Amino acid sequence: MSVETAPAVLEVRNPADGSLVESLPIDDARAVNEIAAELRMAQVGWEAIGPEGRAAWLHRWRDWILAHADELTDLLVSETGKARPDALIEPVASCEFISYYADNAAAFLADDHVKPAGPMSLPKKLTKVYSPYPLVGIITPWNFPITLFLMDAAPALAAGCAVLSKSSEETPLACARLIEGWHEIGAPAVLASVTGLGETGAAVVDAADYVQFTGSTATGRKIGVHCAQQLKPYSLELGGKDPAIVLEDADLDRAVNGIAWGGLFNSGQVCISVERVYVAEPVYDDFVKRLTAKVDGLSQGAGAGSDVGAMVTTAQVDIADRHVREAVEAGARVLTGGQRGRAGNFFEPTVLVDVDHSMSCMTDETFGPTIPVMKVADEDEAIRMANDSPYGLSATVWTKDVDRGQRVARRLEAGAVNINDVFSNLFAAPLPHNGWKESGVGARLGGAYGIHKYCKVQAVTAPRMPTMKNELMWYPYSARRTAVAGFVAKAVSGRGLRQRLGLGGKAAR
């Protein structure tokens, strides 16, 4: 993987005003490898204490996080520029991932005794056995430093893995403090974080036995190629351009409130943020009027009373600004917002209309507080436009007819669809969180899958009854033994009496 030369110190600045929050030393590849070696040694004992023992430590960690929620929220506000209500959700709600996997680890990791597929395997006991990858590398982006870490760290730790975390260089503080909490409760030394830029992330990829990456599609491709070259398993959650479909029978009050929040929460910097809206023609004008009034009434700033906060990076503000300007130049109209802030990484909550798929605001990931709205003739056109994208992370459908919403959901090319809601799949741990098309490879969460992904699965066969000294198909071969073996194979593999007896004819289905 290509990497950039890293400076010796990383400066973390507040996106709202540019002030220096903290300076941190950068971990180079040698430091990463040393930490990884220590984690591997500790992992042996961590796996040995079993799922119940690990669950006890995870529960204590959850309690520490809840007790330090205000401190963690302060760190999130300072390094991300989030509005405080947006930041508070992270440490509190994310504890659900710890509870879910700690409580279910024993059941999910139990030996899985499966039924034989047919007569050939009937004499055997068939078992799937799960054992953890020793070291999992988790690389997270800057938009949700705690949530996206815990979504992966909780099941990995519950599985018996050690975890090496690398947060975005823009937001390393809150996650590092979270990991300090693990050590403050006296838990086994199977969790660590490293700080740095591309070189540090590349070292984590090389050091780990399994890599979980959340971030841009471009970087995800590079990591996927690198892991494939090493025959190393990986999972990627990448970009998104999530559509919302508002049908003519929707509850417009709920649709407006949900889409406004789903498009602007965390300044639109959410992997499953509503990034484009398709509204059926009969209700289009009414919806646009209500949405514009809703967004126009929101407050923006860094204080606790603000609805919409700052964006984490200047580069992301530039993208939002460019998408809006390009749309206006191509004929779109800004109904509210549309301007970047005079200071700090702010961009006004924005509603765009008269948009189409020739515009970057409808086709490229904005990851900012903009809501472009497009009029469509009917349900079929809405679905066609929603699917006209290289991305497929999630989508929302708004209709009073839930059965209709279910039918529409099954026609959408997205890993998750929320009917009359936004983000609800994100905290439904029994469901997989996965992207289709260019939005990812693999999944996180998904009940037992979320913990099995961090395990190697072993197939074990054992006899159900006393065995013979020699099997029919073992050496030595002879014409008689071969004929008998062929007859037996047909008898057990065929379907229908004539086929089992080798008499030909159509088999019973």
> What are the catalytic residues?
237
Say how far apart CA 440 and CA 437 lie, in whole Å: 7
Contact predicate 363/355, CB 8 Å = no
Say how far apart CA 265 and CA 483 lie, in whole Å: 71
Beta-bridge mates of residue 466: none
Contact predicate 73/83, CB 8 Å = no
The answer, yes or no, to whether the previous bond of 15 is cis (omega within 30 of 0) is: no
Q: In what order do the strands lie in the sheet with 191-194?
A: 191-194, 162-166, 135-139, 210-214, 234-237, 440-441
Which residues, in sequence order, are CB contacts of 185 under 8 Å at separation 6+? 57, 60, 61, 64
Say how far apart CA 247 and CA 229 lie, in whole Å: 46
Length of the chain: 509
Q: What letters, b where the CB count within 10 A reaches 16 and e where it falls short, cover 397-429?
A: bbbeeeeebeebbeebbbbbbbbbebbbbbbbb
Task: Kindly state the greatest CA–CA separation across the chain.
Answer: 91
Say how far apart CA 308 and CA 348 lie, in whole Å: 9
Phi-psi region of 331 (alpha: psi -120 to 50; beta: other; left: phi over 0): left
- Half-sphere exposure of 454 toward its Cβ, with a 13 Å CA cutoff? 34
**How is residue 159 written in tokens?**
């599985």
Cβ-in-10-Å burial (0-12, 13-18, 19+) of 297 comes to exposed
Say how far apart CA 224 and CA 235 lie, in whole Å: 8
The H-or-E segment that residue 179 falls in is helix 173-184
The H-or-E segment that residue 35 falls in is helix 29-48
Q: At 496, is the secondary structure helix, strand, or coil?
A: coil
Closest CA to 348 of 272, 264, 270: 264
Q: DSSP letters along 187-217, please?
A: --S-EEEE--SHHHHHHHHHH-SEEEEES-H
Q: At 390, is the secondary structure helix, strand, or coil?
A: coil
Say how far apart CA 114 and CA 149 lie, in whole Å: 33
